[in-house]
Structure 1
Amino acid sequence: MSNALPPAYTIVPPGRPLAGRVAPPGSKSITNRVLLLAALAEGTSHLTGALKSKDTVLMARALGQMGVTVEEPDATSFRVTGTGRLAAPPAPLFLGNAGTATRFLTAAVATIEGTVIVDGDEDMRLRPIKPLVDALNALGIAADAPSGCPPVTIRGNGRFGKGRVEVDASLSSQYVSALLMAAPFGDGPVEIALAGKDIGARGYVDLTLAAMRAFGASVAETGDGAWLVQPTGYRATDFHIEPDASAATYLWGIEALTGGHIDLGIAADAFTQPDAASRALIAQFPDMPAVIDGSQMQDAVPTMAVVAAFNDRPVRFVGIANLRVKETDRIRAVANELNRIRPGLAREEGDDLVVVADPGLSGQTLPARIRTYHDHRIAMSFALAGLRIGGITILDPACTGKTYPDYWDMLAGLGVDLVPAE
Structure 2
Amino acid sequence: MVEVPGSKSVTNRALVLAALADAPSYLRRPLHSRDTLLMANGLRAMGVVIEEQSSGAHPDWYVIPAALRGDARVDVGNAGTVMRFLPPVATLAEGPVHFDGDPRSRQRPLGPLIEALRALGARVDDTAGALPLTVHGTGSLTGGTVTLDASSSSQLVSGLLLSGPRFNLGVEVRHDGPPLPSLPHIAMTVQMLRQAGAQVDDVTENLWRVSPGALLGQDLVIEPDLSNAAPFLAAALVTGGRVTIRDWPERTAQPGDALRDLFGRMGGECELREDGLTLRGTGQVHGIDADLHDVGELTPVVAAVAALADSPSRLRGIAHLRRHETDRLAALAKEINGLGGDVTDTGDGLVIRPKPLHGGVFATYDDHRLVMAAAVIGLVVPGVEIENVTTVGKTLPEFPELWTRMLGG
TM-score scaled by length of structure 2:
0.91
* 1:345–1:111 CA distance, 2 compared to 1 (3 A): same
Query: Could you tell me whether the CA contact under 8 Å between 2:24 and 2:64 is conserved in 1?
Result: yes
Residue 328 of structure 2 is aligned to residue 345 of structure 1: no
Displacement of 1:196: 3.2
The 10-residue stretch of structure 1 (347-356 or 188-197) with the greater mean CA deviation from structure 2: 188-197
Q: Partner of 1:82 in structure 2?
A: 65
Offset from partner CA, 1:211-254 (integer Å, 9 cap, x none): 11222211112511211111103121111111101111111101
Where do 5+ consecutive residues of structure 1 fail to align? Answer: 1-20, 418-422
Write the mapping of 1:322-333 to structure 2, written as runs, cut at 5 A: 322-333=320-331
* 1:157–1:296 CA distance, 2 compared to 1 (3 A): same
Query: Could you tell me whether the CA contact under 8 Å between 2:45 and 2:73 is conserved in 1?
Result: no
How many Å separate the matches in 1 of 2:200 and 2:141? 16
How many Å separate the matches in 2 of 1:374 and 1:233? 39
Query: Could you tell me whether the CA contact under 8 Å between 2:68 and 2:94 is conserved in 1?
Result: no
Displacement of 1:144: 3.1
The 10-residue stretch of structure 1 (177-186 or 284-293) with the greater mean CA deviation from structure 2: 284-293
Q: Please, which of 43, 50, 61 is the counterpart of residue 41 of structure 2? A: 61
- Read off the aligned partner of 1:262 and give its amino acid letter: V
Q: Partner of 1:200 in structure 2?
A: 181
Q: Partner of 1:122 in structure 2?
A: 103
Write the mapping of 1:4-403 to structure 2, written as runs, cut at 5 A: 21-74=1-54, 75-83=58-66, 85-88=67-70, 90-196=71-177, 198-267=179-248, 269-283=250-264, 284-285=266-267, 286=284, 288-342=286-340, 344-358=341-355, 360-361=356-357, 366-403=358-395
- Read off the aligned partner of 1:54 and give its amino acid letter: R
- Read off the aligned partner of 2:68 and give its amino acid letter: L
Displacement of 1:380: 1.3
Query: Could you tell me whether the CA contact under 8 Å between 1:222 and 1:228 is conserved in 2?
Result: no
User: SS of the counterpart of 2:383?
Assistant: strand
- Read off the aligned partner of 2:6 and give its amino acid letter: G
- Read off the aligned partner of 1:70 and give its amino acid letter: I
Residue 404 of structure 2 is aligned to residue 412 of structure 1: yes
How many Å separate the matches in 2 of 1:143 and 1:270? 39
Offset from partner CA, 1:153-204 (integer Å, 9 cap, x none): 2122222223211121100000000000111112223211111352110100
* 1:53–1:222 CA distance, 2 compared to 1 (3 A): same
User: SS of the counterpart of 2:3?
Assistant: coil
Number of residues of Structure 1 aligned to a counterpart in Structure 2: 389
- Read off the aligned partner of 1:298 and give its amino acid letter: G
* 1:77–1:58 CA distance, 2 compared to 1 (3 A): same
- Read off the aligned partner of 1:78 and give its amino acid letter: W
The 10-residue stretch of structure 1 (68-77 or 373-382) with the greater mean CA deviation from structure 2: 68-77
Query: Could you tell me whether the CA contact under 8 Å between 1:269 and 1:276 is conserved in 2?
Result: no
Offset from partner CA, 1:98-148 (integer Å, 9 cap, x none): 111111001111112321111111111111100111111111211232232
* 1:387–1:336 CA distance, 2 compared to 1 (3 A): same
- Read off the aligned partner of 1:251 and give its amino acid letter: F
How many Å separate the matches in 2 of 1:139 and 1:68? 24
The 10-residue stretch of structure 1 (208-217 or 327-336) with the greater mean CA deviation from structure 2: 208-217
* 1:267–1:27 CA distance, 2 compared to 1 (3 A): closer
How many Å separate the matches in 2 of 1:73 and 1:263? 29
Displacement of 1:287: 5.3
How many Å separate the matches in 1 of 2:143 and 2:251? 36
User: SS of the counterpart of 1:38?
Assistant: helix
User: SS of the counterpart of 1:118?
Assistant: strand
Query: Could you tell me whether the CA contact under 8 Å between 2:185 and 2:253 is conserved in 1?
Result: no
How many Å separate the matches in 1 of 2:306 and 2:22? 48
Displacement of 1:291: 1.8
- Read off the aligned partner of 1:275 and give its amino acid letter: G
User: SS of the counterpart of 2:201?
Assistant: strand
- Read off the aligned partner of 1:43 and give its amino acid letter: A
Offset from partner CA, 1:288-346 (integer Å, 9 cap, x none): 4542111011110000000000111111111001100000000011111101110x521
Query: Could you tell me whether the CA contact under 8 Å between 2:183 and 2:294 is conserved in 1?
Result: yes
Query: Could you tell me whether the CA contact under 8 Å between 1:42 and 1:81 is conserved in 2?
Result: no
- Read off the aligned partner of 2:16 and give its amino acid letter: L
TM-score scaled by length of structure 1:
0.88
- Read off the aligned partner of 2:233 and give its amino acid letter: W
How many Å separate the matches in 2 of 1:44 and 1:290? 46
- What is the Cα-based RMSD across aligned positions, in Å? 1.6
Bigger relative contact order, structure 1 or 2 (CA pairs below 8 A, ≥6 apart): 1
Which runs of 4 or more aligned residues in structure 1 lie more than 6 Å from their structure 2 counterparts after TM superposition?
none
- Read off the aligned partner of 2:163 and give its amino acid letter: A
Query: Could you tell me whether the CA contact under 8 Å between 2:285 and 2:308 is conserved in 1?
Result: no
How many Å separate the matches in 1 of 2:234 and 2:90? 39
* 1:214–1:271 CA distance, 2 compared to 1 (3 A): closer
Offset from partner CA, 1:387-419 (integer Å, 9 cap, x none): 0010000011110111011111011102367xx
